Structure 1
């Protein structure tokens, strides 16, 4: 299962005039993973702003994940979280790696933290529902699928999950059908 990974943008970097390449641009450009990793590494080494460092770690982690280097991706998502504990996308994306690695408990913890930071993060609710489903936690999965649909009514994957579990988008309809 490949989870969508969101590439963060807008890294601001203070560089000297001697630098020829633009590490921030390279870090934000996912078209060449090697250049992206190199650019993000330079941003991490030269930037003092915690939010920019967090984003650079996250972008580098995304590049590692696309290469299938999950342990490096996990390390960088963790570093992104340490640099900026309010980076909901770092938690979300680390959860995606855990989900891809078939570690749903760790994924649930990260998706929960992402939702605590940004309560309107429907992708985190959707993926947390999938993690609960992997564990056979039907009620928790249904609740998260429903919450995701409430936030984003066009989220077909959440409707598909509800259908798979024999539930409806609204709790009261599901309870009526169960009686």
Structure 2
């Protein structure tokens, strides 16, 4: 029979093994390691968050969302699970759910530029261009040299027929990241 201390040591072993396997991009093996950690201690929200990210990397979006749900059920203050679940919801086209998750993240951390950016993307997908621009503006306030926020804000401006603002943002984005010029040509 294993002692609680041995069980905790084994849990940490599997958790750390899973993280190492992620770094090696061995995602299927990482899921197995996280499964073993969960068998030993299913009360730790972080392992569900890691497994969710790994499932997402494997393209198993439904499994990722389920893991983020469990992580949030165990620790509703874990903003990372809301953020990652929002990204997963976007991948499934559930943009309103993604926005709701980004709202939770931004309520707990109003200086999280990536959450404004991803929420802007969700609004852009919903063709709510004004809301998208507002979010990209906030992201750019926090990260002024973010070429993706500039590029996507330009797309929103273009959709609103504000071609002057769109051109300025496209030019600024391409100056920061010349590879974005290829996206304009597609």
Q: TM-score range by the shorter chain?
A: 0.7 to 0.9
CA contact (8 A) 1:91 1:113 kept: yes
Q: 1:63-108 deviations in whole A, cap 9, x for unaligned?
A: 1111111111110011111111111110010000111111111111
Which of 57, 70, 84 lines up with 1:93 in the alignment? 84
RMSD between aligned residues: 2.5
1:45 aligns with 2:39: yes
Q: Which has the larger radius of gyration?
A: 2
Alpha-carbon distance, 1:47 to partner: 3.1
Alignment of 1:9-24 (within 5 A): 15-16=6-7, 19=10, 22-24=13-15
> Which of the pair has the greater relative contact order for Cα pairs under 8 Å at 6+ separation?
1
TM-score of the superposed pair, with normalisation by structure 2: 0.74
Q: Which has the higher helix share?
A: 2
Distance 1:165 1:39, change over 3 A: same
Distance 1:87 1:19, change over 3 A: closer
Alpha-carbon distance, 1:23 to partner: 0.3
Q: 1:44-72 deviations in whole A, cap 9, x for unaligned?
A: 23237x5xx21100111111111111111
- Segments of 5+ residues of structure 2 without an aligned counterpart are 159-164, 166-186
- Segments of 5+ residues of structure 1 without an aligned counterpart are 1-13, 168-173, 175-179
Alpha-carbon distance, 1:119 to partner: 1.4
Residue of structure 2 in register with 1:120 after alignment: 111
